[in-house]
Structure 1
Amino acid sequence: MRLAIIPARGGSKRIPRKNIKLFCGQPMLAYPIQAALDSGVADKVVVSTDDEEIADIALHYGAEVPFLRPAELADDHTGTTEVIRDTLQRLLASGWDISHCACIYATTPLLSGATIRLAYEQLVSTQADYVFTAARFSFPIQRALLQSQQGGVIPFDPQSIGKRSQDLAETFHDAGQLYWGRSEAWLKASQTLFGPNTKMLVLPHHLVQDIDTPDDWHRAELLYQLLKQAPAP
């Protein structure tokens, strides 16, 4: 079985109730559920939550909520990998036969079923442990600047600040959306997600947007509306 798990706890400090706040007419959580169901490569979609209201919304949009997440895995300090591992262990113990598992963040309205499918196909074809969505940094991070305590400017990497952009290594960042992995990889506590047998599915910038602040939320809504209006490629 290929499983998609969407972690969606009830607490959110910067944007209250972020996971179920209305986004372009639907609860935010509806978008990753629908994308996973549309992908054709997720046999089941499970939402991991500690919140009854979130659980009800998840069920309404077609996900399953086999159990509520324990409180000790729903605080501000619990890592996503811990939540995925705990959910996998519980489902395997209850008889689910899971070969591959995707972690999909709850606030990913720009993520499509097609992207979820492409990442899974890359995972299988390359025999990787994990495949995650990523994006290129639009500016060379080697030429980043720091501000001193006196208000002056300090190069982050003095050896690179004078180099041409084309002479610097291309760099990438996690898109914060999707992580496909083999179940055995998720279950190994000693295995890091970003390791030598992990691959990236690099996305264009207009499909990537963190949503941590009200400004992020507004920009994501504008991007989503533009993408909906754009003609199919």
Structure 2
Amino acid sequence: MNIAVIPARGGSKRIPNKNIRLFAGKPLIAYSIEAAKHSELFDDIVVSTDSEDIAQIAEKYGVSYTVRRPPSLADDVTGTFPVVQHAINQYQQDKGPVNYVCCIYATAPFLQPDKLQEGYTRLTNEPDMYFAFSVTTFPFPIQRAIVLKGKGVSAIQPEQMGKRSQDLVECYHDAGQFYWGTTEAWLTGKPTFAQSSIPVILPRYLVQDIDTPEDWQRAELMYRAYVSMDK
């Protein structure tokens, strides 16, 4: 049995009600739910939340199982792992054993079902791997990063500043969309960012963090330009 777990707490501060705020005409969380449904990979789609409003909207868009998380898992400092572990344990108590779990963020309107399918296929074909998650490339060589220092700037790696971009190793970062894992890996806390994880590479135009109002505006513009025109 496979399940998707979508963490969605109600206490967003920088963008109030972020998970259910309308994004290009639909609640933001609806995009993650619909991508999970269209992938046809999941026996159940689970939303973990502390908000009745989020639970009701999630159920409207087809979520089949909701987990009411306790206040200790709904504060500003709780990470993803304990929330997913709580959802898995609750689900298995109620409905039985689970083999694979995909954590899907509620703030992923660019999520594509085929990338969920790719992550699942690659993970299930590699028995020595624990996770498969979305990544994308940095738009600029991170080896040539600078920091502000006094009235000027300082290079993080001065020895790299004179090198050509094509001579530097291309680097990737977490795309913040989905994280496939075995149930054992989730429950035992295996490291995600390790050699036992499979990277599913996304194009940069399908990746956008949504943490601030500026991020939100940019994401809507990107969505209308790159995603909605294909539907």
TM-score of Structure 1 vs Structure 2, range by shorter chain: over 0.9
SS class of match (1:210): coil
Deviation at 1:66, TM superposition (A): 3.8
Q: Deviations over 1:167-192 (max 9, x none)?
A: 21110000011000111100113x21
| One-letter code aligned to 1:110 | F
**Identity in percent:** 47
| One-letter code aligned to 2:70 | P
- Residue 72 (structure 1) aligned with residue 68 (structure 2): no
SS class of match (1:5): strand
Partner of 1:92: 92
TM-score of the superposition, structure 1-length normalised? Answer: 0.95
Instruction: Count matched residues.
Output: 230
Counterpart-to-counterpart distance in 2, 1:184 and 1:114: 24
SS class of match (1:84): helix
Partner of 1:47: 47
TM-score of the superposition, structure 2-length normalised? Answer: 0.95
Counterpart-to-counterpart distance in 1, 2:185 and 2:11: 28
SS class of match (1:215): helix
- Residue 133 (structure 1) aligned with residue 140 (structure 2): no
| One-letter code aligned to 1:121 | T
Partners of 2:5 and 2:102 within 8 A in 1:
yes
SS class of match (1:29): helix
Structure 2: stretches of 5+ with no match in the other structure: none
Counterpart-to-counterpart distance in 2, 1:226 and 1:166: 29
Q: Deviations over 1:92-138 (max 9, x none)?
A: 22342210000000011110212211111121123321000000111
Structure 1: stretches of 5+ with no match in the other structure: none
Partners of 1:120 and 1:131 within 8 A in 2:
yes
Partners of 1:55 and 1:65 within 8 A in 2:
no
- Residue 184 (structure 1) aligned with residue 187 (structure 2): no
Worse-superposed segment, 92-101 or 195-204: 92-101
Counterpart-to-counterpart distance in 1, 2:67 and 2:161: 52
Partners of 1:58 and 1:65 within 8 A in 2:
no
Trace 1:1-233 onto structure 2 (pairs within 5 A): 1-127=1-127, 128-148=129-149, 150-189=150-189, 191-231=190-230
| One-letter code aligned to 2:191 | T
Counterpart-to-counterpart distance in 1, 2:223 and 2:5: 23
Partners of 2:44 and 2:65 within 8 A in 1:
no
